[in-house]
């Protein structure tokens, strides 16, 4: 659809009120930051998923836990979340086994606590910045609507000085105001889609971590 120069997107922003321009600037900033986190979490979660799958294969293919632990310690900077959970649990297990007077129940309880603490840290890292995406997705439409309402109020106030109100008088002001709503949706929709997707992926990883901790505890209990 062709529009006149007076109703071009840039012209509408330039002629909007100061408050509407501030709203548009805030929404644009929120959108840019949310896109940064969207791509950042995309790579982080994909990497965590690959590392988890690779470690699960290595864990079940290798019956020598000491050798597996040494391999992880040698490449500690490249270790994934599940590898760090394994290392924390195995380290605590060896430490408690060396103490005299500790029964197997106390050893396994300490091992599970060590894995659980590392698990919580890893989940905090995977869930970081997801709350920002949720906030942008839920708040941006209302911020855009506020800018729209304010712009429409200014448009109708301007009609008070016009003898006869026509569509030509009303359309530019309302169009300028609706830009704020469009900007709010532009910021909110990608953030909501990414948040829902990433929460699903993080939940799946969490289930895999918890299953591994139970299976690893059973392996250690049989060895003890």
pLDDT digits (tens, 9 = 90+) for 166-217: 656 666 667 777 888 889 999 999 999 999 999 999 999 999 999 999 999 9
166 Cβ neighbours under 8 A, 6+ residues apart:
none
How far apart, in whole angstroms, are the C-alpha atoms of residue 169 and residue 177?
Answer: 14
Q: What's the confidence (pLDDT) of residue 4? A: 46
- Closest C-alpha among 120, 104, 128, 121 to residue 44: 128
What average pLDDT does range 64-89 have in this prediction? 86
Q: Are 68 and 58 in contact (CB under 8 A)?
A: yes
Residue range 49-76: mean pLDDT, rounded: 87
159: phi then psi, degrees, rounded to nearest 5: -70, -15
Region of poorest pLDDT, from 3-7, 101-105, 106-110, 157-161: 3-7
Q: What's the token pair of residue 188?
A: 């909110």
- The DSSP code for 16 is S
Report the length, in residues, of the chain: 224
Neighbours of 37 (CB within 10 A): 20
| pLDDT for position 158 | 67
With a cut of 50, say whether residue 92 has pLDDT above it.
Answer: yes
Residues 6+ apart with CB under 8 A from 103: none
Q: In this model, does residue 154 exceed pLDDT 90?
A: no
Helices (H), the chain: 9-14, 18-61, 65-74, 81-97, 104-127, 130-159, 167-223
Confidence at residue 105, expressed as pLDDT on a 0 to 100 scale: 86
**Average per-residue pLDDT for the chain:** 85
The better pLDDT of the pair 193, 224 is held by 193
| Cα–Cα dist 13/179, whole Å | 8
């Amino acid at each position: 659809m062709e529009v006149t120069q007076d109703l071009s997107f840039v012209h509408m922003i330039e002629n909007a009120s100061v408050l509407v321009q501030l709203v548009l600037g805030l929404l644009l900033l929120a959108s840019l930051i949310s896109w940064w986190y969207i791509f950042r979490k995309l790579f982080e979660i994909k990497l965590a998923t690959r590392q988890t799958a690779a470690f699960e294969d290595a864990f079940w293919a290798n019956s020598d836990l000491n050798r597996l632990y040494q391999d992880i310690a040698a490449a500690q900077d490249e270790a994934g979340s599940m590898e760090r959970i394994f290392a924390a649990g195995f380290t605590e297990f060896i430490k408690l086994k060396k103490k005299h007077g500790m029964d197997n129940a106390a050893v396994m309880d300490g091992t599970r606590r060590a894995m659980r603490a590392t698990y919580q840290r890893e989940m905090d890292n995977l869930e970081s910045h997801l709350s920002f995406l949720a906030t942008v997705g839920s708040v941006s439409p209302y911020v855009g609507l506020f800018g729209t309402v304010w712009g429409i109020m200014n448009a109708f106030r301007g009609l008070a000085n016009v003898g006869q109100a026509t569509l030509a008088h009303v359309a530019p002001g309302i169009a300028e105001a609706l830009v704020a709503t469009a900007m709010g949706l532009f910021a909110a929709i990608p953030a909501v889609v990414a948040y829902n997707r990433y929460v699903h992926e993080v939940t799946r990883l969490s289930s895999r971590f918890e299953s591994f901790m139970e299976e690893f505890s059973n392996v250690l209990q049989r060895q003890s």
